[in-house]
Amino acid sequence: AQTVTQSQPEMSVQEAETVTLSCTYDTSESDYYLFWYKQPPSRQMILVIRQEAYKQQNATENRFSVNFQKAAKSFSLKISDSQLGDAAMYFCAYRSYDTSGTYKYIFGTGTRLKVLA
């Protein structure tokens, strides 16, 4: 079964600095999707960035980028020029394809990011 591991329960970063959140996963699939979601105190889950495993190029969305290492099964999120509004829980997620032919999603336990003014 696929698993997603976020080994950093909490991280802190100074405003305007750069921070990297780690995520590793385990799978025997060759084609899959990976995601980072943000959950601010409002609890709304918001998609930050997605990566298709078949693409070698790392995904980028404005100040957010990923370092996708397929062989190492690593998918880290880099936040540049951190802003106070980036403070939230960040979840890494993997899309699995089960034997019934349906896609399901597996989430890590989250990393709480604090942004210090």
Partner 1 sequence: NAGVTQTPKFRVLKTGQSMTLLCAQDMNHEYMYWYRQDPGMGLRLIHYSVGEGTTAKGEVPDGYNVSRLKKQNFLLGLESAAPSQTSVYFCASRTPRNEQYFGPGTRLTVT
Interacting residue ranges for partner 1, rule: CB under 8 A: 4, 33, 35, 37, 42-47, 50, 91, 93, 95, 100, 102-110
Residue 106 beta carbon to partner 1: minimum distance, rounded to whole angstroms: 8
85 vs 117 by CB, closer to partner 1: 85
Query: What distance in Å separates the CA atoms of residue 95 and residue 83, rounded to the nearest whole number?
Result: 29
Residues 3, 32: contact at Cβ < 8 Å? no
Using the minimum distance from each CB to partner 1, give the nearer residue, 42 or 117.
42
Can you list the positions of beta strands (E) in 7-82? 10-14, 19-21, 24-26, 33-39, 46-52, 60-61, 64-69, 74-79
Considering only CA atoms, which of 40, 35, 28, 80 is closest in space to residue 59?
A: 35
CB of 14 to partner 1, least distance (A): 27
Give the nearer residue to partner 1 in terms of CB position, either 48 or 115: 48
Minimum distance from CB of 86 to partner 1 (Å)? 18
Comparison of 41 and 85: residue with beta carbon closer to partner 1 = 41
SS3 9: coil
